[in-house]
Chain A
């Protein structure tokens, strides 16, 4: 299955700043998915990133707050903009791999906003 590397693994940020999370995959993939896991909660899909086109955002998530880049088939970034404490979460990147219709997840980026 695909191996996913996310950076940073964790960070502490100040309110009002922005942070970019990187997701690198060891193989070419068509779709990349970004999820958010708020403290003690389940995972919620933020957006789907397809190389060469604009990301598709789920209800409740907007491009101005969570801009996504997908420059090639192995890499994507998610930016959390103008952060507030409510953005404190684990952000996870995932791709198809490990079997039919299976999503493989990165270890996540744990973000704390003060």
Chain B
């Protein structure tokens, strides 16, 4: 069975600073990896995805993530934080690729942006 660990339930950064949200996964087969964002009182929006093409994945809103198989990691970064980035971020893994399985989510990281 697959699992996802997000290190840090809360991360606080200053506006303009680097954002780094950590995600490690466990999977017995090559995984598909995702980052979703949830703004307050809203549904989930896909930020980016890794599906075995390029290991460095660029997403929306200036975010990117790098798949590192040796470290079983898929950390999310953004060079310069903006106040609008304040939200809950979820890392998720999917292994079947055939549509029969849903996503397994990490516990989420609440990103706080300090002015």
CB < 8 Å: which of B36, B99, B107 contacts A96? B99
The 8 Å CB contact of B42, one of A31, A96, A103, A107, is: A107
Task: Return chain A residues, CB-CB under 8 Å to B103.
Answer: 33, 43, 45, 94, 103
User: Complex formed: what's the CA distance from A33 to B94 in Å?
Assistant: 13
Mind listing 13 A-B residue pairs with CB under 8 Å?
Answer: A31-B99, A31-B100, A35-B102, A41-B107, A43-B44, A45-B104, A99-B49, A100-B51, A101-B51, A101-B94, A103-B94, A104-B46, A105-B44
Instruction: Assess the B102–A103 pair: CB atoms within 8 A.
Output: yes
Interface of B is mostly: loop
Could you tell me if B100 and A102 are in contact, using CB atoms closer than 8 angstroms? no
In contact, A107 and B32 (Cβ under 8 angstroms): no
Contact B32–A101 (Cβ < 8 Å)? yes
What 1/0 flags go to A45-77 for Cβ under 8 Å of B?
A: 100100000000000000000000000000000
What residues of A have a CB within 8 angstroms of the CB of B42 in the complex? 107
Shortest B52–chain A CB gap in Å is 10
Verify A30–B99 contact, CB threshold 8 A. yes
Closest Cβ of chain B: how far from A102's Cβ, in Å? 6
* Among all A-B residue pairs, the 7 with the closest Cβ atoms: A107-B43, A33-B102, A105-B44, A101-B32, A45-B102, A43-B105, A42-B107
The reply to whether the CB of A83 lies closer than 8 angstroms to some CB of chain B is no
- CB of B34 within 8 Å of the partner chain: yes
